[in-house]
Amino acid sequence: MLTRIDHIGIACHDLDATAAFYRATYGFEVLHTEVNEEQGVREAMLRINGTDDGGASYIQLLEPVRADSPVGKWLARHGEGVHHIAFGTADVDGDAEAIRGKGVRVLYDEPRRGSMGSRITFLHPKDCHGVLTEIVTAAPPGTAGEGSGH
């Protein structure tokens, strides 16, 4: 069962400049950064607040590290802006199967590693009214990270 908005993914050309904007404008601090080679992105997670289920909500900034990455291609077509929305769940595997059973295309056969040790999968935007949708199971507390996805 999806329990919260885990994060909003925002594609950007310059991760450091975009993070500085969010810090200066809204007071959001970068909690975590990493390069996800499989996804071809450099990313920063900005924690917004805690949630009732013990997780948190984030803004995820995504800068492509290569032009042929999914985010790089998306950025070339659409420019900077909201790339996807991610919902948190305790069971990404079970929820992906349940959603697949409702006729929505799940993009990965098996969930992959996301930010901070999470497990993730994506739903096809054409089946979600034009919105690329991610579902995320956060890493357990005290492991690779606290919280979020992608």
**Catalytic amino acids?**
134
Which residues have a Cβ under 8 Å from the Cβ of 79 and sit 6 or more positions away? Answer: none
* Count of alpha carbons within 13 angstroms of residue 34, beta-carbon side: 19
